[in-house]
């Protein structure tokens, strides 16, 4: 009979656990069968993490004199802190609490109730056996670096950076393009209020560019991330601009004089041109241009130098010898706001993009509408002159389609309604919106739909089958025909139009996996960064100190993006205000009297925490440097190194508990003395 007094708490998690695991049975079983291990109380409860659930544990600790607690609920990465804090409040050292993940590892991944229940029992047995060997510990405290890294300077990143900088803390804002601003800088009007995108965005860009607390690193990318929450070291590649930022005044003469015109597939979405030395748009922040070495005549052929010749600054701002720079910055927290890519509409050939001149993508149309765009805001056909008389707008291009992306891109309905309005306003053309479902669920959104209905836009409920120039009926010649089943009348229709706009899906960045990897976070199957909790912790990630905001987390509109940027900033500020961080007290230490000085462990530590004392011929571990991986513990052939929280006793006991049942319920474990 164990001397410990252990309480076991089994969470239903609503029905998340209880629908697969018979939680009541598990609790009864634990009380009846784990008494020898010291279990004196076992309860199940609807939501263990709720305040009532926590109080249940606290009351038991006080009233029943519990000295160990095992909570079988979700992953410890989610609620370990919650339950530890509950123990702490009840006067029990928080590290005497052990969590068993019966949601992520049982109810969510198994379907057979009987087997899942058995597995839950075995896992709880493991937790109980283990917790016996837990020791009261004090968390390690490390200072939090006050600086924050924000990756991606679209509206989400800008918002987050400004919030933090305004609070008086330093921010490194890294953007891989030559200018900050992101997709929002490309837009013309923003729904539902139709205010001008540039008018609301550029002041924020200027603020971010000039803020004394923001170090703006445009044309830069994060190379690697080391360290951990509170103490990251980030290596940033500042790509060569070939323009000396210290001297350049941003006068733009170099751009004017550059003889090379380059199709701008980036900012102008392929609808306009830029020079080989360029800034993406006139209001770019920072104002310094960048030389595109792929297209620059000097870089290609070794002559030209027009930009340098005409540069009026002293010394000359153009520096063809400039090299990439690697910067290392220490930061405490990181916000990823890396945005989205637009679905490549050429992947749906039947919509004709790339083949039929007057099929446009949504981004192309934004540029077409934009007063600063290639047509100065004239909505015209690809010939640059003709105003369309009829325009088709197709929703859900590449979204809600299992052949491409099975999610809803959220913004397309509203964006398409905005396009319908803009087309009407600029051309007076007949507008047809082709949609599957009209999704206008947000403040003032449905009102906008009403307005577009009032304007006389035609709404055809049906997913477009194809867009073709193969005329076969009178009135189709010279037009592009949108073929669709109008599902309300149940008939196939062929609607001749002059222009088609494809509301393309938002997709995760092509390199989102790579980026997630770099920062140690995860992507969902669709490729979006995964938040810590979809409802309750939407901007944190499973990796402490890394936050996400904006479309990198999933498709969303500008209001939500800005809200997330601010939310991530608030989380970071909260962290910074704590000044120091409580770290898991997971550390290795040498029992000096057991150490024979064999030196096997001496090169186990990449953090140089292991020292050998030649004089005493024993090894010692510096707890300040130790990160707690436990590699030296496993390596020590004399068992002279122990690790807190993951001692041999704890692990071996847990194994024993886990093996209490076979998968068919028969007793698997033979409790033999080794």
> Token pair of 513, please?
């996996």
| Least spacing, CB of residue 251 vs another protein, in Å | 28
- Is the CB of residue 462 less than 8 Å from the CB of residue 485? yes
> Token pair of 181, please?
């601003």
Bridge partners of 71, per DSSP, are 9, 99
Between 126 and 152, CB nearer to another protein: 126
Q: Which helix (H) or strand (E) holds 491?
A: strand 491-497
| Least spacing, CB of residue 249 vs another protein, in Å | 32
What would the DSSP string read from start to end of 36-101?
TTTEEEEEEES-TTSHHHHHHHHHHHHHH---EEEEEES-HHHHHHHHHHHHHHTTS-GGGEEEEE
Between 311 and 601, CB nearer to another protein: 601
| Least spacing, CB of residue 437 vs another protein, in Å | 8
Vertex 329 angle, CA 326 and 334, to 5°:
115
- E strands in 90-230: 97-101, 140-143, 148-151, 171-174, 189-190, 195-196, 214-217, 220-228
In whole angstroms, give the CA distance from residue 177 to residue 453: 39
Between 429 and 569, CB nearer to another protein: 429
- Is the CB of residue 621 less than 8 Å from the CB of residue 610? yes
Between 395 and 571, CB nearer to another protein: 395
| Least spacing, CB of residue 140 vs another protein, in Å | 14
| Least spacing, CB of residue 327 vs another protein, in Å | 21
Query: What are the C-alpha distances in Å from 661 to residues 102, 221, 668?
Result: 16, 51, 5
What would the DSSP string read from start to end of 343-390?
--GGGSGGG-BTTBTTEEEHHHHHHHH-TTSTTTT----TTSSPPPSE
| Least spacing, CB of residue 309 vs another protein, in Å | 28
| Least spacing, CB of residue 548 vs another protein, in Å | 14
Between 287 and 382, CB nearer to another protein: 382
Between 178 and 657, CB nearer to another protein: 657
| Least spacing, CB of residue 480 vs another protein, in Å | 11
Half-sphere exposure of 224 (CA within 13 A, CB side): 3
| Least spacing, CB of residue 337 vs another protein, in Å | 19
In whole angstroms, give the CA distance from residue 339 to residue 342: 10
Query: What are the C-alpha distances in Å from 13 to residues 31, 79, 114, 275, 558?
Result: 20, 12, 18, 59, 33
Between 380 and 497, CB nearer to another protein: 380
Between 361 and 362, CB nearer to another protein: 361
Between 218 and 338, CB nearer to another protein: 338
Between 176 and 518, CB nearer to another protein: 518
- Is the CB of residue 562 less than 8 Å from the CB of residue 161? no
Q: Cβ of 308: how many Cβ atoms within 10 Å?
A: 17
| Least spacing, CB of residue 275 vs another protein, in Å | 15
């Amino acid at each position: 009979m164990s001397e410990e007094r252990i309480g076991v708490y089994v969470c239903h998690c609503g029905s998340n656990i209880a629908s697969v695991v018979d939680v009541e049975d598990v609790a009864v079983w634990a009380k009846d069968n784990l008494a020898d291990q010291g279990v004196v109380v076992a309860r199940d409860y609807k939501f263990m993490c709720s305040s009532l659930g926590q109080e249940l544990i606290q009351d038991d600790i006080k009233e029943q004199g519990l000295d160990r607690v095992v909570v079988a609920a979700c992953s410890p990465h989610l609620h370990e802190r919650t339950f530890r804090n509950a123990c702490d409040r009840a006067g029990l050292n928080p590290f005497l609490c052990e969590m068993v993940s019966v949601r992520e590892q049982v109810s969510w991944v198994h379907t057979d109730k009987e087997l899942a229940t058995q597995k839950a029992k075995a896992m709880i047995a493991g937790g109980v056996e283990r917790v016996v060997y837990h020791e009261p510990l004090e968390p390690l405290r490390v200072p939090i670096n006050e600086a924050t890294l924000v990756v991606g300077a679209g509206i989400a990143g800008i918002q987050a950076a400004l919030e933090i900088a305004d609070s008086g803390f330093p921010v490194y804002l890294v953007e891989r393009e030559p200018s900050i601003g992101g997709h929002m800088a490309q837009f013309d009007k923003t729904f539902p209020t139709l205010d001008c995108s540039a008018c609301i965005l550029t002041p924020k860009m200027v603020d971010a560019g000039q803020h004394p607390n923001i170090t703006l690193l445009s044309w830069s990318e994060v190379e690697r991330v080391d360290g951990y929450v509170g103490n990251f070291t980030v290596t940033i590649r500042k790509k060569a601009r070939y323009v000396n930022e210290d001297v350049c005044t941003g006068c733009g003469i170099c751009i004017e004089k550059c003889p090379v015109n380059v199709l701008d597939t980036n900012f102008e979405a392929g609808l306009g041109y830029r020079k080989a030395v360029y800034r993406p748009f006139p209001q770019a922040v920072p104002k310094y241009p960048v030389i595109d070495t792929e297209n620059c005549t000097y870089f290609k052929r070794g002559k030209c130098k027009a930009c340098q010749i005409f540069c009026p600054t002293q010394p000359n701002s153009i520096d063809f010898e400039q090299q990439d720079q690697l910067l290392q910055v220490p930061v405490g927290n990181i916000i990823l706001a890396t945005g989205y890519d637009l679905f490549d509409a050429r992947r749906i050939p039947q919509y004709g993009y790339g083949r039929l001149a007057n099929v446009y993508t949504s981004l192309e149309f934004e540029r077409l509408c934009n007063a600063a765009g290639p047509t100065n805001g004239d909505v015209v056909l690809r010939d640059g002159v003709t105003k369309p008389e009829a325009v088709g707008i197709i929703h859900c291009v590449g979204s809600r389609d299992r052949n491409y992306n099975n999610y809803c891109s959220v913004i397309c309905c509203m964006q398409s309604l905005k396009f319908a309005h803009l087309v009407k306003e600029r051309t007076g053309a007949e507008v047809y919106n082709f949609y599957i479902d009209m999704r206008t669920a947000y403040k003032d959104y449905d009102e906008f739909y009403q307005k577009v209905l009032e304007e006389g836009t035609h709404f055809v409920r049906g997913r477009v089958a194809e867009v073709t120039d193969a005329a076969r009926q009178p009135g189709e010649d010279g037009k592009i025909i949108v073929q669709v089943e109008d599902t309300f009348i149940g008939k196939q229709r062929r609607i001749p139009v002059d222009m088609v706009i494809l509301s393309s899906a938002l997709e995760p960045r092509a390199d989102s996996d790579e980026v997630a990897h770099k920062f140690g976070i995860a992507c969902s199957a669709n490729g979006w960064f995964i938040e810590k909790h979809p409802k309750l912790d939407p901007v944190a990630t499973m990796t402490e100190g890394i936050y996400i905001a904006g479309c990198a987390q999933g498709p969303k509109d500008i209001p939500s993006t800005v809200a997330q940027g601010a939310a991530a900033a608030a989380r970071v500020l909260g962290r910074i205000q704590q000044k120091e961080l409580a770290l898991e007290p997971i550390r290795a230490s040498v029992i000096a009297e057991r150490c024979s000085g064999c030196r096997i462990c001496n090169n186990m530590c990449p953090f140089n925490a292991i020292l050998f004392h030649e004089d005493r011929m024993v090894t010692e571990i510096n707890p300040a440097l130790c990160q707690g991986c436990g590699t030296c513990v496993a390596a020590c052939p004399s068992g002279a190194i122990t690790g807190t929280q993951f001692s041999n006793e704890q692990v071996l006991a847990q194994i024993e508990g886990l093996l209490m049942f076979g998968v068919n319920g028969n007793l698997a474990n033979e409790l033999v003395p080794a």
